[in-house]
Amino acid sequence: MSRRYPIIPVAKPRMTRRDKWAQRLCVLRYRQFCDEVRLHRIHLGETVSVVFWLPMPKSWSKKRKQEMDGKPHQQKPDVDNLCKSLLDAVFQDDSHVWQIRAEKRWSYEGGVEL
């Protein structure tokens, strides 16, 4: 029983103390992602199975989009940084999660499937 949430996945950026008051775009996108995850009330257990659906660029042709839909995404962002952002958005302390199965794929629209 998997459920797909219409949230565009964002990788966790490397943050500094300055990010508490400076407004870098990557940090703002990450915080917006965390807010959307909390808004959808996503709950995870000790084991996590997740598929990150990353949106295809608008510059791609219709033919290329049809070819790549559902195929593995092998570019940045890294899957481990996507997992970090999801776990940090859901948990204050994610030390009890002991197994993660994650993949990232191309899609017409972004999403997170649990």
What's the pTM?
Answer: 0.87
pLDDT per position as a tens digit, 85-98: 999 899 888 888 89
DSSP state of 3: -
What local confidence, expressed as pLDDT, does residue 72 receive? Answer: 95
Q: Domain range spanning residue 100? A: 4-113
pLDDT per position as a tens digit, 63-85: 999 999 999 999 999 999 999 99
pLDDT tops 80 at residue 8 = yes
- Please name which of 60, 70, 78 lies closest in space to residue 111, comparing C-alpha atoms: 70
Number of CB atoms found within 10 A of residue 85's CB: 22
> b/e map of 10-20 (b: 16 or more CB within 10 Å)?
bbbbeeeeebe
**Average pLDDT across the chain, whole number:** 90
Total number of domains constituting the chain: 1
pLDDT tops 70 at residue 1 = no
What local confidence, expressed as pLDDT, does residue 15 receive? Answer: 82
